[in-house]
Structure 1
């Protein structure tokens, strides 16, 4: 008897790509609920109006062969009784943070005080153009950590330049400019800049102590500068209660 080869899962209607999907997390949540892929697919069809979702498509998502779009991810989270943020990897962009929070673009636009069309353009371009007041509202509605706030508002390059100046020259001169860029208390910024300056200068002093030919210490200093933003946030997190 011949077996009929199953057709590959049919993707849903074309739409904007979803956020980075955490397939293992979705699979663990489904298993914990005692559900099979067919149960998940049925729930998404019946409760969320996605008639094209099949058990095969759910399996493809869980295996990493495909990824759910924004509407599919929201529906999948609903069926799995979790928030969308529990089945996505760490968000990187403005849109990914919004989808991870399960918030409609209309609600974000209203909260920050911009027209929906303008907000969607900023999501598509990856360039946030809001002023300080709107930026603060964005951080609140999306519950952005300071590092995420700096990333999604396009301030990382500016922060990196200030931090390099702080560790290579006088860190005190960069306290105020850094405080304007990042939503942190001034005292925290002062402590972190002092620490980073001492760390970098110690590395460079080691180079001089080796007669200027210590390639190991010199390379260490260059790597420190290359990772200056990550080093900054690591130092900030070490001061969190």
Structure 2
């Protein structure tokens, strides 16, 4: 199988952490060569990572975190996949597999193909070991598209009819969920009404499509706004 894509690297964080330690790129490169078994790394590699023109792979990221005396998660942008969440938390794959009661090869296959095949109980164990937020759980268990379909229905018709199904997918508490769906529905309908009121049918369609394309992101933003 093809190697996994590099994690979302935070170049500015790497540069900031190196500066805080008073290290030059040559010092970091030397540490990676001598202490972490990466003989090919040069100061040019380090500078390329910090400028965002290249990104370290998983092995290089772990070594760089060691050289900069930080957690790997401090060098990552927002994790997107199961593998990235695990790396961000600095947890070994065998530890995650053990925590969720799964054979290591089976767990690694899920990381590689991005398809979660665990039970609901194993999802709860995964949340605990990787300290996942509800939005992360939806993403890593492959529920983003089903959630998007439900949310599109909620904002274009009666949001009340979707509370139970959205709640089952997201595990968001019902009072927060209801207010978030109400807000989402109001925002969408308000956009459509406003643009139609201006006499721009095409504009209304474009505004609505843009909102629907970002419906999952808009939903989690609404959830975060609730106390």
- When normalised by structure 1's length, the TM-score is 0.84
**1:41-97 CA deviation, whole Å, 9 max, x = no partner?**
222233333333333332333233432221221111111111111112221111111
Q: For the residues of structure 2 that align with 1:25 and 1:205, how far apart are their CA atoms?
A: 43
Q: Aligned pair in 2 of structure 1 residues 18, 226: CA closer, same or farther (>3 Å)? A: closer
Residue 209 (structure 1) shift: 4.9
Partner residue in 2 for 1:7: none
Q: Deviations along 1:129-151, whole A, 9 cap, x unmatched? A: 11111112112211222212211
CA contact under 8 A between 1:203 and 1:218: conserved in structure 2? no
Q: Distance in 2 between matches of 1:199 and 1:37?
A: 48
The superposition leaves residues 163-201 of structure 1 with CA deviations (integer Å, 9 ceiling, x where unpaired) of: 111112221111111111002111111111112222223
Alignment of structure 1 residues 1-241 onto 2, 5 Å: 16-206=4-194, 209=197, 214-240=201-227
Q: Distance in 2 between matches of 1:225 and 1:59?
A: 39
What is residue 8 of structure 1 aligned with on the other side?
Answer: none
Q: Report the Cα distance in structure 1 between the residues aligned to 2:63 and 2:25, rounded to whole angstroms.
A: 14
Query: How many residue pairs end up in the alignment?
Result: 226
Instruction: Tell me, yes or no, if the aligned pair for 2:138 and 2:170 is still in contact at 8 Å.
Output: yes
Following superposition, the deviation at residue 161 of structure 1 comes to: 0.8
Looking at secondary structure, tell me which structure has more helix per residue.
2
CA distance in 2, matches of 1:16, 1:165: 34
Unpaired runs of at least 5, structure 1: 1-13
1:89 partner SS: coil
Structure-2 residue corresponding to 1:9: none
Distance 1:59 1:236, change over 3 A: same
CA distance in 2, matches of 1:139, 1:78: 26
Please, which runs of 5 or more residues in structure 2 have no aligned partner? Answer: none
- In the TM superposition, residue 16 of structure 1 has moved relative to its aligned partner by 4.7
The answer to whether the Cα contact below 8 Å between 1:43 and 1:79 also exists between their aligned partners in 2 is: yes
Contact conserved, 2:196 with 2:204, CA < 8 A, in 1? no
Structure label with greater radius of gyration: 1
**Superposition deviation, residue 127 in structure 1:** 0.9
